[in-house]
Amino acid sequence: MNKKKTLMIFLDILLGIFLVWFDQFTKGLAVSRLKGQPAYSLIDGVLELQYLENYGMAFGMLQNQKILILLMDIIFMLVLLFFLLKMPVTPKFRMIHVLLVFIVSGGVGNMLDRLRLDYVVDFVSFVLINYPIFNVADIYVVCATIGLFIMFLFVLKEKDLEFLNFKQNRYRKP
């Protein structure tokens, strides 16, 4: 690995550590301040803090399927880590690196909850539209996924993604 790639991976790791720490910190606050308490309104009728133990995954799917969820999480994280390691170190891909680190960090944050507690701590409730209760890790994943979607639609071209092609033709004319 060259120096630029090593530096990028090091920065990815530092950002990931910070993001996972912040997620776990906010969940710790939720447990200590919200558990057993009524919902706390931040914006009346719009946004509130409400403690919830989620034994499933997104939108409450796969309730009490901890092993299956953890297995899916691990496979998904390995795929994303593969992309991070294969990705070129060019300015065009810096934002993709950041977005993938946010997704991996969100997944790791929720995985840590499942491993330690058997459930994920959720505490942010967007009551205006009766949206499922979520947490900081979920915000990382959703916002970064939207960012990736936008990048793939409007920024990256098909040739930018050739680094993912396993069947690259080494004898192709320039």
Instruction: List residues with catalytic annotation.
Output: 122, 138
Residue 165 neighbours by CB under 8 Å, 6+ apart: none
List helix spans (H) across 118-160.
136-154
Which spans in the chain are helix H? Answer: 3-34, 66-86, 91-117, 136-154
Distance CA 59, CA 71 (A): 18
Q: Are 104 and 81 in contact (CB under 8 A)?
A: yes
Within the chain, what is the greatest distance between any pair of CA atoms? Answer: 67
Please name every residue paired with 124 in a beta bridge, in sequence order, or none if there are none. Answer: 49, 134
- How far apart CA 14 and CA 8 sit, in angstroms, is 10
